[in-house]
Structure 1
Amino acid sequence: MKTTMAFLTAFMLLFAGWADTKAGQKGNGQQEQHGLQVLSSPDLVKIAETWVEAYNSAHPEAVVSLGLIREDGMEEIIREAGKIALVSQKDLTALNTAETWCMVVGRDVIVPVMNSNNPFREQLLQQGISPAAFASVYTSAGKPAWGTLLGNNESAPVNAYVFESRTCLSYLAGFMGTEPGRITAGKVEGKDEMMQRIRNDRYAVGFCRLSDMAKVEAGEADAGLCLIPVDLNANQKIDNFEDIYACTGDLSRGIWIGKYPRNLYNKIYTVAGDQPSGDPELAFLEWVVTDGQKYLAATGFSELVSSERLSGIERMKRTAAPLVDVPVKNAPALMILLVLGALLAGVIIFYLVIRITGRKSEAVTKKSRPSYISGAGEVSIPEGLFFDKSHTWVFMERDGKVRVGIDDFLQHVTGRITRVELKRPGDRVRKGEALLSLVQEGKKLHILSPVSGIIQSHNRELEMKPGLLNLSPFSDGWVYEIEPANWLKEIGAYVMGEKYREWIRAEFSRLKDFLSSGLKPVDIPGKEPVLQDGGAVRDGVMELYGPEAWEEFQSQFINLSR
């Protein structure tokens, strides 16, 4: 407590000094204007010019200029305030990323393509082509046959094409595990020639930019082309984790999630020395990942998927709001600032109390958890509760209201919950629709409602202590009280006791399959595995994954539980 009071006293003195200083500096009521400079690597100048010109046109009050990055000076330049760099993935590797802020704003993607009338199209869509099979054709000294790609004796010749550009040759060499100089496929100069050759030859294959295939799909370019699935594990079958080629939208999402070969695309980043916090930087970056995305295709790049854009905005919003210089002309204004400082001090005291309480709850939660969960036997299943396949529980109170919460399995999978987004009393909900959202440092999971009805109340404790969902999901961590609208019908879908435990065993198997589907963790502390050899799952496993994996978990696990 003494430490806290000392902190507050020091804070008030600093605040008063800051206000007095601002009064002296801004006595004339004028505020200094700061511009933003966007620095581009040479290979991204075209999109950088387009973005800066379009942004300045849409925001005449903005002061955004464009400059080029010197090859030997990138590290120093981005450390300067008011500067943001636009670089590709290869340039980013040269920086000290541990001390650099970066955000993906686009991609350069090439995709395998065939003629829509290829006689082997249906077989190719079912089994795909492995990187090794592509390599055998693209590095062949003679005239390869389709049997090389199909794994049979088909003798029809394969006519393979590749862009002559050094960038595309580098992509393909990395994908096929060879050297650019060993690629013997027919060279073409540009996208129009590539697409025309494949349209005119039903035995042709090639690699086009994803943005150009999106135009074909949208009817903005001539049809006659379709995507070729990549058989990553070379088992001559497109497995579930490889099934992302139905359309360019599905493929874009698969790329974000990590299901597409990384050698076939290059990310475009905005980079700064520190996480941007000034208004000019934040405004420009938010525009780039929203309205600015439509300019990418014209320069051959691919847009981010909608969820990826929202994730980027969420990252920026977690930045502390910058202090804004306010003109101060007289003592009354200074008094207003001091009053505001006192109110802020009260908020800090309230925050510290909640923070200390929350840390104690989190400490208890972490202490009580094992490192790995081996099966349903380690999941709490209280007697007397009904469970729904949305990983929620329900219990009817004596007054006829139904109390609702999440099950223990779910909180073991998500790990620490940092925030909960709730509906309001009076809101009507339907079974199977989104009821609440669990948030973990910006990553979000929507939980579906097990019951239809009208929300009577929600657990206000969760607003300040979301960790109760981890610590006590069946008591203190309850979520809603709902007046049911169709209880007698919906109760038939619930399970209890041993039946629920059997279902949880099946959910553990499904979870292991999901974790083995090719998703890569963002980080694994101590390099401990997500799955142990015996099949045990790391407790709080989704803490190790980024927002793209959480979206995949939503669509491929939570939404398919029913």
Structure 2
Amino acid sequence: MKTFLTFFLTLPFFLLSLTSFSIAENDQPAEKTGLELFCSPELIDLTTNWAASYESQYPNKKVTISKMTSEMALAEGQLYLTTQAQLSSDALNWQMVIGHDVIVPITSSNNPLLQEIQQQGIHAKSLALLAASELPNWEQVLGSTANAPFTMYLTDNEELLTKIANYTNLDKDAILATKLSSPKELIQTVQENIYSIGFCKLVDLINTDSKTFNEQISILPIDKNRNGRLDQFEDIYQNPEALSRGVWLGKYPRELSGKVYAVASSQPSQQNALEFLNWLNGSGQELLAASGYSPLSSRAKTGNTQILTPLSEPINLSGSTSGLPLGWLLPGTFVIIILAIYRFSRSKRKKLPTIDSEDLGMTPAMNESSIESPAGLFYDKSHTWAFMERDGFVKVGIDDFLQHLTGPLTQVKLKKAGTKVHKGEKILTIIREGKQLEIYTPVSGIIKAQNQSLLDSPTQLNTSPYADGWVYQIEPLNWDREVRLLFRSSTYREWLEDEFTRLKDFLAHAANANSMVFDHLILQDGGEITDQILGDLAPEIWDDFQTKFIDSAR
């Protein structure tokens, strides 16, 4: 053991003597390595900001930017930044998503109806009604007090027209809009025609210097849940960064968002291109929001890393070309020594069982497609369901959405048979390891029976929420009227899209802003949430969920 330690303690001094030669050889300043980027015109400002930040962070790197033209063909070995995934009609390009762009409806800030529009918001059906009307008028969507002609303007851009058609569920030929040649002309026209609206990209509205919106133009807020008012969670229009984050959280219609791509004729292999792509996927994401674009989610960045890593050699952005940088040599040596001594000492002890990383499963994601909603049932905003049986009694229970959030339940508290309840009253308490939620009844009536098997096996609410996990059998008192307030399956699934948006909004606010790990666990993909997310969260989060999510929806 003494000989072993003596060897490792003298090793650093031997290596230090060798580094003097390395210092002499590497004392010359590194030459700058160049990268040429081609970008589409709408990305010039963003690409310029990227290039400046990259060169500032790595002074040995030099980036030159050229503007793409519509006739430009993809050249082998070149890198292109664009909002179009397919640039060549001959073959598929290599592509990687590096950000998201947003299409927004706008009107003049002097529009006399602006305040009313901002209170109500607009949604797909109202836009479809106006866009397809021969004589459109604002009173068609705002009421008789808003008697003013409506005009829609678009830039002559096929991609933009396609997205609006998808959002409004109209054929492109059915959209009666005046097409203008450029975003600049569109914005000017909307300013002059104060009752009109236009559609353009978010980046077209941003003042480059101040990173704020054009003061003469207002973005029309989207009433995503179509309830005739702009709710707090839908208010994401204060500044470009807030809107970009709202898009990332799913608070904005997916049909109106696009993507920013890095494109090449084939998989990039040059080291300078791979280094820049890796940087775009990391530090470069921070510049997107300020320029009117939305950054990638953590899962998307991880996917890009997997795409790039097999293609690239170990990336050395420092500019050194002679192996491991000198600054890491001595610290690395000492790390090796400590590890060697640790491993040697551990080998003398009894080995303990270990867990192979392959044994650790990934927690599945929770999204709209993972929620079951059998046809024939009626669903309530309290995340409960109701079903009238042939004998006239109504069975009720909790929906699949709620059990996906809580994970396996450990206890329930039930009301006694014979209890009279009114719609919206607390009827059930579901508990997981002491943390609990109060659930409200979807119908009024007298409880005739309770599912007593839940007292011994509350997980039936998780494994079979619509069958074995029923909660009560109720004799209804006002079924004909109250059933009209409930959702059928198809409408319930549309409503669920907005519930997922509300859920992500709640989780984003609940997350510790200084904890990247917590944020990653909650919002894996900006559109997908970890299954059973409430399960391991603290009791105070459950309390907040009760008041800010369940109670606020009543």
- Structure 2 length normalisation: TM-score? 0.48
- Structure 1 length normalisation: TM-score? 0.48
